[in-house]
Structure 1
Amino acid sequence: MREAAVHQLRIAYEWAIAHPVVDAVETPHGPALPSVLETPETLGGAGTPAVAAFTAEPLAVACGIAPSSATALLADSLDLHHRLPVLWQQTQAGFVPAWKARRVAARTRDLSLDAALWVDRHTAGRVGSLGHAALDRLIAEASARVDGDSLAEKEKRARSQWDVQLKHRDPSEGGATSEIHAIGDTLDLTRFHDVVCAEAEALGSLGDDDSFEVRKAKALGVIADAQARLDLTSLLDDDTTTPEEQSELRRRLIERRDAKVRLYLHASLADVAAGWSGGPGGVGTVEGLGPVTLDQIKEWAGRSRLTIQPVLHVASEDTWSVDRHDPPPRMTEQAVLRDSTCVFPWCSHPSRHADLDHIEPYEDPDEGGPPREDGNGQTRPDNLAPLCRRHHRAKTAGRWSYQRTAPGTYLWTGPSGVTALVTPTGTLTLPTS
């Protein structure tokens, strides 16, 4: 297994250096530069060579892995060759597992070349015996010793990373449990944690016999409900704001109070009817969450402002169309419900946050495209497919092409003749011709 992992890193590096950045080509009209869609990419850290745009996608399809995984593999191989040469030699000799070497590469990617080389020298012979925490401490030491930026600069950079993210777990674990991750001001987060703990203590005093950890999770919902009920309209009594500004603030406060959670539920009508009539409920699939029991959905609906959007069967699409580039909302919803993710091979980007691509490119009638005809527009459900922004650019740049063979099924062809078939149940790599 170690040899196979090292071999994979070697192949990734060979693939990276086989796709260098192409210089401008002289033409009779002057130098021809690559399209802005084909901007070179720097995958590794400082000191590694850049590669041509969309280098990762053919490797991903050939290996049967997600494009993001192929990108990480290329970046790790470049870092190990150019920034961590000692560690790479030890990995090839079998002294260090490839996964641990890749962790060092990923954790040092933001360091300067000097700092990465310092880590490489000072971890020689030690990485195999160091745990995750020890490796992380060593990398932090390298950053402090070699990348000696002032603490104020580091805090300024850290501020740009502030965010609150909601993460839904693997669908196989069920959709009723999710995670929230917050990065922010230390004082603000400490105070909020104290409020959560105090609310959990209060729940225990009121008879909740769950563990303290579970009560803390419940406290988030209690705090959210209390915040939604707050009447903040008194803050509008401010002489410094105009009536128009106060009207806009009032509208936003009302939207905040009336905010609802919308869930897209794919479920059997028989199961839904049985569950709501008091019988045992079945299992449905919630978009973005995965399988959830209908009893859980019913419990959520009883204590929250929850909108459940029923999903109609969309496999048998109708052939309606419009004579414009952007699809109307109903057509957009139809395409998103048909394909839940970007339709590029092994891409898992949610379709609700992706672009809707015209499989056959849209041609503006005012610029030489086909004439407008009633009921025969270029924008129709069977000519739309969700693509994340990166893979939309790859298709537009001409590196990849695809065709729709059935509802939810797409045949992709890329550089080097790699082909893959995306189906509603997964992606299949096809033999190259």
Structure 2
Amino acid sequence: MTSTAQDSDPEVVDLADASVRGLLEQAAECEAVMREAAVHQLRIAYEWAVAHPVVDAAETPHGPVLPSVLEAPETLGGAGTPAVAAFTAEPLAVACGIAPTAATALLADALDLHHRLPVLWDQTQAGLVAVWKARRVAFRTRDLSLDAALWVDRQTAGRVGSLGLGALDRLIAEAAARVDGEPLAEKEKRQRSEWDVKLNHRDPSQGGATSELHAIGDTLDLTRFHDIVCAEAEALGSLGDDDSFEVRKAKALGVIADAQARLDLTSLLDQDTSPEDQTQLRRRLIERRDAKVRLYLHASLADVVAGTSGAVGTVEGLGPVTLAQIKDWAGRSRLTIQPVLHVATEDTWSVDRHDPPPRMTEQVVLRDPTCVFPWCSHPSRHADLDHIEPYEDPDEGGPPGQTRPDNLAPLCRRHHRAKTTGRWSYQRTAPGTYLWTGPAALTALVTPTGTITLPTS
């Protein structure tokens, strides 16, 4: 039986006439209910994990049959936690209406709390520690050995509940350092593999004109670069820039990038390098200097032509950005703006081959900016293009025209595997809209504006 919204809606309490004390009492009651619900969600996540154990190889007359590479088991928690079957997180994600990555983290934290942090888990269930703090400890200790995690659990018992975020992280780090026997040189070598620079775009609902740059690298290199950024910020101030020092530091990154792009490094080429290698290196240096940023802009053509005041467009990967901001960017950097034209009907052209041509790929990516699995946010430009109706080799009787925009959809590698194994299936119901069916009769509708979990019958 399908439940209706009227059946499931909670009773609405009128708070207009509540006293100050009454409001505080109800706020405290809500907090207690939410804490208990969060604990219960962890209990459910743990039971879901242990209900999906790794299946042993099946014995046949010809020997054991191992699971396919597509269905390799997954270790979500730290050392000492049981592995789970492939794609255990996806049904939980759809049921909870959260991203698969969030469901994976929920399962990992539940497993760690049960098997590696039992004292903390008992205190959390008793309401002495907030769930977010317990999960923070689970995440921060995941790379430790089982014995080290158990030691940290004992050493931090009774102290986690009263600490704020910064103090909690310091406590975990200090406890882990006392028991972690990994030599410092080995730790430094391992951490080097984590070096990276990532550009993160903020929530599109907040506008796309502000992003974050996150760098992990050599301490000396980053300190030197930070000093340069601060020096540039000071220089901007002395030249009359009246923004705050923090804002000038952010603006200094653009100043440094512009200066770096103008440098001619071809004079530094080793004269002993062969002419062929020198030619190749020169080409790379020129390409570096002429590098452009490409933005895919979805906007009204009338607004673009007329320069409408306050007009807003949507930039792929960023979200809404004013056209005035786009104009400002174009005026001070090498920027290529690719306008995106949306038509009322989808082009139904096709090709008789498995891999789509670049123009078709671009069409599908612009139509579906992310993986079309429920709540997955993986960018479609870095995803596989899946044939919704599986591709059949024409030499083996497959029909013509199988590779066409309305039979292609972007799937990240993980969810492409989930579909290929048959655990999940989907069909296209309209341009940009997909109906997914998964284990336990779960169904979800992915639309251009978001994902909807459908009630089960």
| TM-score bracket relative to the smaller structure | over 0.9
Give the corresponding residue for 1:64.
97
328-337 vs 113-122, which moves further: 113-122
TM-superposed CA distance for 1:235, in Å, is 2.3
CA distance in structure 1 between the aligned counterparts of 2:426 and 2:343, rounded to whole angstroms: 21
**1:432 partner SS:** coil
Give the corresponding residue for 1:223.
256
Query: Is contact 1:339-1:351 (8 Å) kept?
Result: yes
Q: Does 1:331 align with 2:364?
A: no
Give the corresponding residue for 1:99.
132
1:190–1:31: structure 2 CA closer, same or farther, 3 Å change rule?
same
CA distance in structure 2 between the aligned counterparts of 1:285 and 1:52, rounded to whole angstroms: 40
**1:411 partner SS:** strand
Amino acid at match of 1:417: A
Give the corresponding residue for 1:344.
373
2:61 pairs, out of 4, 12, 28, with 28
CA distance in structure 2 between the aligned counterparts of 1:120 and 1:143, rounded to whole angstroms: 10
Q: Does 1:360 align with 2:379?
A: no
Q: Does 1:173 align with 2:201?
A: no
Task: Specify every segment of 5 or more residues in structure 2 that has no aligned partner in the other structure, as ranges.
Answer: 1-33
Give the corresponding residue for 2:245.
212
**2:212 partner SS:** strand
Query: Is contact 1:339-1:408 (8 Å) kept?
Result: yes
Give the corresponding residue for 1:282.
311
Give the corresponding residue for 1:135.
168
1:300 pairs, out of 329, 334, 358, with 329
CA distance in structure 1 between the aligned counterparts of 2:175 and 2:394, rounded to whole angstroms: 60
Amino acid at match of 2:434: Y
TM-superposed CA distance for 1:416, in Å, is 1.4
334-343 vs 279-288, which moves further: 279-288
2:80 pairs, out of 47, 60, 73, with 47
Query: Is contact 1:356-1:387 (8 Å) kept?
Result: yes
CA distance in structure 2 between the aligned counterparts of 1:217 and 1:64, rounded to whole angstroms: 36
Query: Is contact 1:274-1:281 (8 Å) kept?
Result: no
Q: Does 1:389 align with 2:413?
A: yes
> How high is the sequence identity, in percent, across the aligned residues?
89
TM-superposed CA distance for 1:29, in Å, is 2.4
**2:294 partner SS:** strand
Give the corresponding residue for 1:253.
285
Give the corresponding residue for 1:319.
348
- For normalisation by structure 1, the TM-score amounts to 0.96
Query: Is contact 2:391-2:398 (8 Å) kept?
Result: no
Q: Deviations over 1:331-355 (max 9, x none)?
A: 0000001001100001011111111
CA distance in structure 2 between the aligned counterparts of 1:29 and 1:317, rounded to whole angstroms: 51
Amino acid at match of 1:361: P
CA distance in structure 2 between the aligned counterparts of 1:175 and 1:20, rounded to whole angstroms: 42
Query: Is contact 2:194-2:216 (8 Å) kept?
Result: yes
CA RMSD, Structure 1 to Structure 2 (Å): 1.2
Give the corresponding residue for 2:426.
402
Task: Specify every segment of 5 or more residues in structure 1 that has no aligned partner in the other structure, as ranges.
Answer: none
TM-superposed CA distance for 1:236, in Å, is 2.9
Runs of 4+ in 1 over 3 A off after TM superposition: none
Query: Is contact 1:314-1:334 (8 Å) kept?
Result: no
Amino acid at match of 1:81: H
TM-superposed CA distance for 1:297, in Å, is 0.5
Amino acid at match of 1:406: A
TM-superposed CA distance for 1:237, in Å, is 4.9
Give the corresponding residue for 1:162.
195
1:334–1:139: structure 2 CA closer, same or farther, 3 Å change rule?
same
